[in-house]
Amino acid sequence: MGINTKIVELVMSPPEPHYVGDGFRVHTFIPSSYRLDMHRMNPFIMLDYNSRYYFPPSDKPKGVSVHPHRGFETVTIAYKGRVAHHDSAGGGGIIGEGDVQWMTAASGVLHKEYHEASFSKSGGDFQMVQLWVNLPAKDKMSKPKYQAISNSSMGVFRLEDAISYIEVIAGTYKDVKGPAATFTEVHMMNAKLESGVQADFSFPAEYNTCLVVVEGTILVNEEEEAPVNHFVLMSNNGVDFTIRAKEKATVLVLSGQPILEPIAAHGPFVMNTRAELVQAFNDFNDGKFGFLED
């Protein structure tokens, strides 16, 4: 490896799963053990991974009932199944396999997420990622918004075999841009690799970078093996690294510019000071986040 290689700091097996509501069976990679607190991967301050899991048919859609957020963005990436979302700012919709919903809670919204009705009735495999993306202090009280990002709108960079590709949700890969609008520099993409195919990546040394192996088994820098459902934390020295698929693989690649500000977090709110947290709870209790039917 050269002096510019971004090395693997940690390969983490999935923590024990737990349920968020009754519809999301998740492994929480961020925050978790090994110093993976909200600061270490900032701006990615939470990462819940619902590994592939079969949900039987249900007449009542499973999910998470109405709850508030302030101070950050939620990003839901669907790999299997369909997810419905509604929020008190008027955002909402349904995402299917390969789609993304990007909700900027900012000054505060109520929202709910659940299995889409027809998927719930038929049942099936469900697999998704939900991220919390931090906002800088100057934007935490901005107006909420919602981005529905269809798979067809994402940037695509074809690799040399002409079958494998990098699917760009936010930021850039080579000269291909993703459709998501972000407040700070965030790179978010899926590497869809056929067996034996390699992709190379380059992000600034100081950017916090990680991988989630959604399908298959990969080799990072031709040395570190990461099986399916594992999390790979990259170091903050060096800029370049490679991913090679040992078998057909899908890898979520995240890299972002750290937001070097204090983090005060409690439950569904992520602010900069304790006083701002207290205000968030007061505003929520006073009904200032709007109304959303459960």
Instruction: Map out the domains of the chain with their CATH numbers.
Output: 8-285 (2.60.120.10)
If residue 172 lies in a helix (H) or strand (E), which one and from where to where? strand 172-173
- Scored b (16 or more CB within 10 A) or e, 107-140 reads bbbbbbbbbbeebbeeeeebbbbbbbbbbeeebb
Can you read off the two tokens belonging to residue 1?
Answer: 């490896």
Q: So what's the pLDDT on residue 272?
A: 98
3-state SS assignment for residue 284: helix
133 neighbors 186 (Cβ within 8 angstroms): yes
Scanning the structure block, which residue is given the tokens 């991220």?
131
Q: So what's the pLDDT on residue 1?
A: 67
User: Which DSSP state fits 17?
Assistant: P
How many C-beta atoms lie closer than 10 Å to residue 287's C-beta? 9
If residue 45 lies in a helix (H) or strand (E), which one and from where to where? strand 44-55
Q: So what's the pLDDT on residue 33?
A: 80
The CA distances from residue 56 to 19, 60, 61, 213, in Å, are: 16, 11, 11, 25
52 neighbors 25 (Cβ within 8 angstroms): no
Q: Rounded to a whole number, what is the largest CA-CA distance in the chain?
A: 57
The CA distances from residue 139 to 39, 70, 135, 286, in Å, are: 18, 11, 6, 22
Task: Report how far residue 153's alpha carbon sits from residue 170's, in angstroms, rounded to the nearest whole number.
Answer: 11
Count how many Cα atoms sit within 13 Å of the Cα of residue 22 in the half-sphere of its side chain.
7
Task: Report how far residue 134's alpha carbon sits from residue 45's, in angstroms, rounded to the nearest whole number.
Answer: 6
3-state SS assignment for residue 278: helix
74 neighbors 145 (Cβ within 8 angstroms): no
Mean pLDDT per 10-residue segment, the chain (294 residues): 88 96 96 88 97 96 95 98 94 94 96 96 97 98 96 97 97 97 98 98 98 98 97 96 98 98 96 98 95 84
Can you read off the two tokens belonging to residue 171?
Answer: 């930021």
What's the one-letter identity of residue 233? L
